[in-house]
Amino acid sequence: VPPLPREPRTPASEPMENVIGPDGKPILVPRSQSGGMTRASGANKPASGLEKRALNFFNRARQADTDLESMEAEIQQMGLGSQTAMAVLPNFLQSETGQQYTQAQRAFTEARLRKDSGAAIPEQEMERQRRIYFPQPGDSPEALAAKKAARARAIAGLEQSSGKLRDQTIA
């Protein structure tokens, strides 16, 4: 008995996303093309408390990153001594830019870490986060780019956690 003919096999296709189409009806589209579209499954459900909380942290981290970027060129133009002084001197001895930069670093770090723990962040952990995410005296251009990319990934993670609210961000 000859075997039954089979449908030709195709490589595994991209995952599909159930979204609301232009006519307001649910449609399936490849996940890579669903960015910015409203998901159909659960579209009428209100946002969860976790999504609202994540949106708050996402907005805070994104604003802090915007503030940091506006000051980074000035910070990088400081000499090694000025950058080191900014890292160790108390706030009242800092320049206005130094104070704002330190505040933006703290705001970013708190938004990133408090989402998970909700607790106060010890100074030792703040210092560790500074070394990971923010320019330090003597950083190479490659290290600076890697730190900027790390901040972008952290912000993207917070954005993802905000679920259906991700489009309701600050301008």
| DSSP letter (8 states) at residue 169 | -
Determine the pLDDT at residue 149.
95
> Cα separation of 33 and 14, whole Å?
10
pTM for the full model? 0.65
Q: Is the pLDDT of residue 83 over 80?
A: no
Q: Please, are residues 121 and 110 in contact by the beta-carbon 8 Å criterion?
A: yes
Total Cβ atoms within 10 A of residue 76: 12
130-170, pLDDT tens digit by residue? Answer: 899 998 878 888 998 999 999 999 999 988 888 777 766 54
Q: Please, are residues 97 and 111 in contact by the beta-carbon 8 Å criterion?
A: no
> Cα separation of 91 and 54, whole Å?
30
> Cα separation of 59 and 72, whole Å?
20
Burial group, residue 98, by CB count within 10 angstroms (0-12, 13-18, 19+) = buried
50-62, pLDDT tens digit by residue? Answer: 888 888 899 999 9
